[in-house]
Structure 1
């Protein structure tokens, strides 16, 4: 999934000291604060969609090969010759490593045929004998020299790595053939469907579930139209996926593109095309946003055992739970993009991460899934990484599982068009006091509701360098 600009990346480490750390030390040693423009280089596969794709993005024809010259407007905004870089950060939030791409320690080109991808949606597989983190990725490029550039609409990785301080190793992926990971939710290749993108994942009773969206067309940066969103299920640890009949919510695109195995759509729900899942108290909570990056968040919940039954979903209306999604109240106001939600044992509260309207990665806290949610804490500022998007919490973060302070999350960037593992030290996040139920807000401590200052302005996070990502 892109909707703006992607890609490239370096080798950061396995179980050895990270070049990020070395770069930071070197930069500090010479007293240099390098805030440079991105280094010019080709993206993994500039033209997109590839030859034989469905088109419908931007204004160019389908081209193949990274040396091809667009005949009109580039297929996507990233096809402009810009390249990515690794942000070297010091302070509250730091870059751990580049997870995907030609020079990542995971060797995704050689092992999986992946030179460019994005998102990195994370959840636990729930298998006590073989616990793994599932990682769903969006639109994926492979060998740019081949016709079609090995474009796949989505990919799944699995990881059993719990030592996140020096990176996240990928165990394996569902494969199409040796050296090429398969698209787990293939697009239809019919006119009117550009791609199929995962937006959330969750495990219930040993079955993996993905909520995904069928994209009809890309619009202005950060805006797109969907045909529908639906659930898919896997009973074999993510190896194979089947759409769940009756779970489609139509958007403003064409309902005619809903495949036969999904059956009739359950409802039209344009405000519920993208999701984040949270398991809590026997329920699966589903945080919903419209397609794009400017919508507000509403909230649904369903008993875990009924996740496939769309008629069992209830929606938070501000005072209680009701069946009509049209009465759903806003729980987080616009503009929210690609959020994730988790319980934090460290904070003793629920947390959500997302990209806001200023293109910052922010965190909010809440005592209950429906809120009230706190003001925003900026974990990473657009001033440091202006091309960032997506923020998906790693379930095995010390700040999630225990009282440790380290919160790990994935992040993508337009220009690199790959996925990074990031870390924030929650010890450096200002404390917030939740007002009591009888507290008069005009005299209450405002630490709960206020947005805290940008750490790029206060110096709590410092960009010390931008490392150009070597060519593959």
Structure 2
């Protein structure tokens, strides 16, 4: 870049533009606050399923505006600070050029040469010093300009500066792809040793997303505890680990989801069922759904972390009739895993109510390496009756079909090892499943009948990512979902849009 080009630029305009963006961001923040206050008033005056649907749509629109505010605020800061740095470098550079020009010839590239009669050796040395200083300032302007440009481009692409993690941890912005957009952090992500700074709870994963019958957004957290950031995953659990939590969320007046209430350990670990069997090491939620005013959650009872994965003793249902504050097991509904074979394909479950009067139970074997996703169904009004469940036999649902031999209806994507932690929901126009494999690859697939599924699409690939669970604030042409990251150990809210999600209709 030449001196004339730098002189022709006016980086102060970048500062002014950043100020304009900051004003717009502030105005948007005020508008978001007005909407949240109006929505809270609406919730006081209107209740029921229609109200919940309207509130969910409004929440989603507001959280989009929150994300836009965060982006505008980041751009404003980058432009004001970056533009200010360019102004400072430009002013210093031109001052040096103007001083040098009174005594020497200064080329557009910053080379300073003596002119008669000041062309003796001392003047040549002084000119060389001016050349070095001026060319360093030109280089500094170019470097600063590139840094500002790169920073603005990164923010426009969704890399928000506030997400920068500690060294060795995953930047949640790295999840972003053409199909996925990071929205905000959710739970956990505390200090890996002390848990300090964790949102809601110290360190945690999964964030199974649901809405209470009266319209409160909540997440059911998986393994939670101090130190989980360093020692979780395959391997022994620390004494403080292996617990679960429910976090109720509220939207603040900036449009961000913040913790409202925490329920600790709603699903206690199960004692061994045979003599000398140890207590399960962890009870981990896998899905949640409502039937009227009754809330249900499926869990898997993990007995160990052997062979590089988790192994379950069983899976089962819990229910709540007080809005999710207390839970009790639905005792007849236990799917026991084989002690040695671990061949029960309904250990990691996702229950999905449908408008056809049935609730569909999707499942996989324990772990993320398996033969795919399986399915059963039960009349929604008989959820708690084990005899009412019908398992897929390859051509239809059959009350006489054994769960262990029910064939998979969605095989792992070609080249991948399994369908991990499926999350299935029925929308107006079709069903959607989100899942992951054992290497941080995230997929979607859709179905019009809940049995025949489209070829899975790879949404994003991020080592350390897993547990993609759909949000009740979903529908239309995209879905919201939670996603877990291993380092730091916590969860995040993302939006996914592709051909599987387009035209889904209402949740």
TM-score, length basis structure 1: 0.62
Residues 388/90 of structure 1: CA separation in 2 closer, same or farther (3 Å cut): closer
Report what 2:127 is aligned to.
none
In 2, distance between residues paired with 1:278 and 1:388? 23
In 2, distance between residues paired with 1:244 and 1:429? 33
Report what 2:265 is aligned to.
183
Report what 2:488 is aligned to.
416
Partner SS, residue 224 of structure 2 = coil
Residues 39/238 of structure 1: CA separation in 2 closer, same or farther (3 Å cut): closer
Residues 344/28 of structure 1: CA separation in 2 closer, same or farther (3 Å cut): farther
TM-aligned CA deviation for residue 159 of structure 1: 3.4
Of the three residues 88, 92, 116, the one matched with 2:203 is 116
TM-aligned CA deviation for residue 205 of structure 1: 2.7
- In structure 1, runs of 5+ residues without a counterpart are 1-12, 42-81, 175-181, 255-267, 433-472
Q: Relative to total residues, which structure has the larger helix share, 1 or 2?
A: 2
1:239 matched to 2:325? The reply is yes
Q: CA RMSD in A?
A: 3.7
TM-aligned CA deviation for residue 430 of structure 1: 8.9
Partner SS, residue 237 of structure 1 = coil
1:174-205 Cα shifts (integer Å, max 9, x gaps) = 2xxxxxxx110112477252111111111113
Of the three residues 308, 320, 330, the one matched with 2:408 is 330
Report what 1:211 is aligned to.
298
TM-aligned CA deviation for residue 343 of structure 1: 2.7
1:272 matched to 2:363? The reply is no
Residues 22/92 of structure 1: CA separation in 2 closer, same or farther (3 Å cut): farther
In 2, distance between residues paired with 1:202 and 1:431? 22
In 2, distance between residues paired with 1:111 and 1:326? 40
1:159 matched to 2:211? The reply is no
In 1, distance between residues paired with 2:208 and 2:501? 24
**Structure 1 segments of 4+ aligned residues over 4 angstroms from their partners:** 13-16, 23-28, 31-35, 38-41, 108-113, 160-163, 427-432
Count how many residue pairs are aligned between Structure 1 and Structure 2. Answer: 336
TM-aligned CA deviation for residue 357 of structure 1: 5.5
Alpha carbons 1:391, 1:410 under 8 Å: kept:
yes
TM-score, length basis structure 2: 0.58
1:200 matched to 2:287? The reply is yes
Alpha carbons 2:186, 2:257 under 8 Å: kept:
yes
In 1, distance between residues paired with 2:252 and 2:359? 25
Larger radius of gyration: 2
Of the three residues 119, 143, 150, the one matched with 1:30 is 150
Higher relative contact order (CA 8 A, sep 6+): 1
Residues 39/109 of structure 1: CA separation in 2 closer, same or farther (3 Å cut): closer
Report what 1:339 is aligned to.
422
Report what 1:52 is aligned to.
none
Note the 1:16-415 alignment, pairs <5 A.
Answer: 17-18=69-70, 22=74, 29-30=149-150, 82-88=168-174, 89=176, 91-101=178-188, 114-125=201-212, 127=213, 130-142=214-226, 150-151=240-241, 153-159=243-249, 161=251, 167-174=256-263, 182-188=264-270, 191-221=278-308, 223-253=309-339, 270-280=344-354, 281-295=356-370, 296-323=372-399, 324=401, 325-334=403-412, 335-345=418-428, 348-356=429-437, 359-370=440-451, 372-380=452-460, 382=461, 385-397=462-474, 400=475, 403=476, 405-415=477-487
Alpha carbons 1:116, 1:142 under 8 Å: kept:
yes
Alpha carbons 1:283, 1:302 under 8 Å: kept:
yes
In 2, distance between residues paired with 1:171 and 1:201? 19
Residues 192/430 of structure 1: CA separation in 2 closer, same or farther (3 Å cut): same
